[in-house]
Structure formats: structure tokens, C-alpha cells
Amino acid sequence: MTTQLTPTPVASPLVSPKPGYLAAAGRWTGALAGAIAIFSVLLIAKGANPVTTLVDMVVSMTSGFSIEQIVMKAAPLVLAAMAVVLPARAGLANVGGEGQVIIGAVAGAGVGLVVSGPAALPLMLVAGALGGALWAGLAVMLRVTVGVNEAVTTLLLNYVALDVMLYLIYEPWKDAQGSGQPATPPLSIEQRLPLLSGTAVHAGIILALLAAVAVWFTLRHTAFGFRLAVTGGNPEAARRAGLRVGRLLLTAMLLGGALAGLAGVIHLAGVEFKLRPGLTTNIGYIAFLAAWLARHNPLPAVAAAFMLAAITVGGDSLQLDSGLPAATVNVLMALILLAVLGWTAKRSSS
């Protein structure tokens, strides 16, 4: 006699996530509202009208010129954020994006000083990526060989990178035909990134978005991404499973450094056109915030990079229209970061 088995009903995975998405959206809304509320209190303490100040800030973001500025600022931020996201999957904290961005720009500028013609820009991009990778490699080699925490070494290397650039622009690379200010000779037209048709936005934004998609695909759909996740989750278990943990850590950090170095070249060849003090305008640090806002998820990190770029551009109105200090916009970014990380964390159901 044949026995018929009745299948046990299984809850559809397409039904349950909806309340979760709504709850997450509610947490994000509450976090951002809380950050704005605290920021408003600080504005009042400085004698500014919070409603007028915030409205002026939003309005300043929506003009055509401001939108182009936001996209241009977002391009290196996206790449530098990916430089944090990729190593983070392996359990590494890359705090050295700022230094890697600087070294990438320095390497690209160095190539630009000796190479001209159509080959100059591609070689500058390659040199920038290699420079950022090698700079990040210094930190990860110390982690793999002697166990020095990469968060400390990458942070300290930021200051070394800045000193390297300052030495070069004050001494051997200083523009002898310039105004006397410390800077390299400006890039020629053929060494600069082309502009998108009819805009002031350079083609670096396309490279940045393609890189973000590549990072997302790598982490989500490749064996390499899976190995990084296993290593980041439990390095000892990964080692016992036969994974080469040291090689995975090294590769992840080198790729992250390459992305940050590419961000430096894109900023140099698309916006600045020469090395100078204050070149990066804290690209690496802001990108680190973007990656943490997105909890090290590649595509949300792109959105976070654009949001922080918009805040940076809108923050100009805080100085011009409201007479507030330049650091005010950094306070707003910090409040958003703390609010989002603190109030959107998943609560235990137990």
C-alpha cells in the first residue's frame, strides 16, 4: 500500500520581510529626525533660526549648479567608501582611506609630470590605484606578519601620506612658474578627465559607480566574496577550513587601497588639476562615515556617499547665509552617523 505524504506548509519568504522593511524605514526616519532635532538645538544655541537655516541649506542643494557639485563630490567618496566596505567584509578596519587617496593623487600627479599625450590619463589612473594599494599594503603586512592592528596603522599612515605630499609640493615638484604657492604644475587638458555632455560633471562618476557595482557583485555572487565573509566572521574557523586567511586579508586590503587611490586620481584629474595643501578636503574620512552609515553594504554606501556630498555642498549656506562656522557641517554629519548607528541597530527579540 502506498502512503501519501502531505507536505508541511512553509511560510513564504516573500511575505514576512515587509513588516521588517517598514520597521527599518521607521528606525531610519526616527534616527534622521532625532539628528536634525539635536542639530536644531545647537543652531539655536549659536543664535541661528533652525527652520530658516535648514530650509536655506536644502534650497542651496537643489540648484542645477549644486547638483553638479554634489555629483562631483560624490565620485571620489563612492570609491573611497568601497575602499572601506571591501576590507570590512574580511574583518579589516581600513581607517586609512584619506592617506590612500592622497598617495593615489601623488602617484597620478607624478606620472602626469613625465608622461604626456593620450596615454597619460590611463597611466595616471593605473598609477593612482597602484599607489593606494601599496600604501594600504604597508598596514596589512604589519597585521599579517606581526599582528599590529590595521585600524591604528592605517590611521597613522594618513599623516605620513600628507607629509609626503607636502614635501613634494614645497620642494621638488613645486611649480616654478606658479604664483609662489605650494602646488604642482597644472595638468594639461589631455591629462584631465572628460566631462559628461552638457555638464560640468567629469567621467569619474561613471568609474565610481561601475566600481561600486563590481564590489557589490564580488561580495554577493563570487567565491572570493564568500571566502572574505567567512574570514571576517571567524578567522580561526576559516583557517581550519583550509582558507588562506593571510592571503585573503592581504588581497582585500590591497583592493581597498587601490579603490581609494583611484579616488585620489579622479579627484585630481577631474576637479583639482594639481596637488596642493588641502587637496582631498577629507574625502577619506567622509567616505569612512558613508561606509559605516551603510553598515558596510556596497550599494547603500553609494547612497550614503551622495547624501554626505549633498550635506557638504549644502553646508556652504551655513557659512554664507547664516554666518556659522565651517565646522558646523561636520557636526551635522557626526550627529547623523551617531543617530543612525545607535537608533537603527536591530534589537534582540529575547
CA 292 distance to own-chain centroid: 10
Q: What is the pLDDT of residue 21?
A: 56
Question: Residue 242 — left, alpha, or beta (φ > 0 → left; ψ -120 to 50 → alpha)?
Answer: left
Q: What is the pLDDT of residue 348?
A: 46
pLDDT at residue 345 is higher than 50 = yes
Domain boundaries defined on the chain: 65-324
pTM of the model: 0.87
pLDDT at residue 108 is higher than 50 = yes
* Helix 298-314, helix 283-293: angle, nearest 10: 130
Helix residue spans in 46-191 (DSSP H): 50-61, 64-89, 97-114, 120-146, 150-170
End-to-end Cα distance, the chain: 47
Q: Which of 161, 180, 184, 205 is nearest to 111 (CA)?
A: 184
Tell me how far apart the alpha carbons of residues 115 and 134 are, in angstroms, rounded to a whole number: 21
- State the virtual CA torsion across 282, 330, 214, 118 in degrees, nearest 10: -40
Tell me how far apart the alpha carbons of residues 256 and 53 are, in angstroms, rounded to a whole number: 37
The rounded mean pLDDT for the chain is 87
Residue 54: which residues within 8 A CB-CB, separation 6 or more?
Answer: 36, 40
Helix residue spans in 195-297 (DSSP H): 204-221, 223-233, 235-240, 245-267, 283-293
CA 79 distance to own-chain centroid: 5
Sign of the CA dihedral running 123, 201, 314, 23 = negative
What are the distances in angstroms from CA 123 to CA 116, 168, 242, 269, 296?
A: 10, 20, 38, 12, 30
| Interval 243-265 mean pLDDT | 96
Rg of the chain (C-alpha set): 23
Eight-state DSSP code of residue 269: I
Eight-state DSSP code of residue 191: G
pLDDT at residue 3 is higher than 80 = no
Is the pLDDT higher at 282 or at 215? Answer: 215
CB burial class (10 A; 0-12, 13-18, 19+) of residue 219?
buried
Amino acid at the residue 350: S
Is the pLDDT higher at 305 or at 6? Answer: 305
pLDDT at residue 334 is higher than 90 = no
Q: What is the pLDDT of residue 219?
A: 95
| Interval 193-222 mean pLDDT | 94
Hunting for cell 524605514 — which residue is that? 25
The answer to whether the CB of 115 falls within 8 A of the CB of 225 is no
pLDDT at residue 320 is higher than 80 = no
What is the tens place of the pLDDT at every residue in 181-196? 899 999 999 999 999 9
Hunting for cell 520581510 — which residue is that? 17
CA 168 distance to own-chain centroid: 25
The most confident of the ranges 32-36, 99-103, 143-147, 312-316 is: 99-103
Instruction: Return the minimum-mean-pLDDT range out of 229-238, 249-258, 314-323.
Output: 314-323
pLDDT at residue 125 is higher than 90 = yes
Q: What is the pLDDT of residue 6?
A: 47
Tell me how far apart the alpha carbons of residues 242 and 40 are, in angstroms, rounded to a whole number: 54
- Say which CATH class 65-324 falls into: mainly alpha
Tell me how far apart the alpha carbons of residues 58 and 50 are, in angstroms, rounded to a whole number: 12
Banded pLDDT at 89 (limits 50, 70, 90): very high
